[in-house]
Amino acid sequence: MSNTQTGGCRCGATRYEIDLTEAHTLNCHCLDCQKHLGAPFSVFTVVPAVQFRWIKEPKGTVAFSEFAIRRFCTSCGTYLKWEGMSAPHEAEVNAMTLDNPARLSIDKEIFVRSRLAWIRPIEGVPQYNARSDSASNPD
């Protein structure tokens, strides 16, 4: 891995390694992320699945729909990874679990239709009402 960073949960029971060479980092304002994290949005980083590997894999999984599961540490509860059923070729990691998330920059904001009114868009960053795939139109 060439642009490798490590990350993990709060208690250290779960660890991973990720190559950020082809990474895209997004703010997601969807209701699932808001409820799951108890926060106004989530920050996640997407890389090709081959650029991610567990060092110590988490035991916890939860699914809010048939579209994805979320992996979390059963010891401390930290949410680490979103796994879309239709996107096995991608690894979508909770960016705040990286050991040094400050090295990232936000590339897109998605599901802005459910952004809280007191959260402002990041200037110069593309905004999408839904998922940022080619079928979605920017605001």
For the chain, percent of residues with pLDDT exceeding 90: 72
pLDDT in tens, 11-62: 999 999 999 998 999 999 999 889 988 999 999 999 999 999 999 999 999 8
Q: What value does the mean pLDDT take over residues 83-98?
A: 91
Which string of b and e fits 39-64 if b means at least 16 CB within 10 Å?
eebbbbbbbeeebbeeeeebebeeee
| CATH node for 4-114 | 2.170.150.70
| Domain boundaries of the chain, sorted by first residue | 4-114
Tokens of 132: 């940022």
pLDDT in tens, 109-125: 999 999 999 999 999 99
pLDDT for the residue numbered 73:
96
Rounded mean pLDDT of the chain? 90
pLDDT for the residue numbered 20:
96
Q: What is the DSSP letter of 77?
A: -
Q: 108: pLDDT confidence band, cut at 50, 70 and 90?
A: very high
Residue 135 has pLDDT above 50, yes or no: no
pLDDT for the residue numbered 132:
61
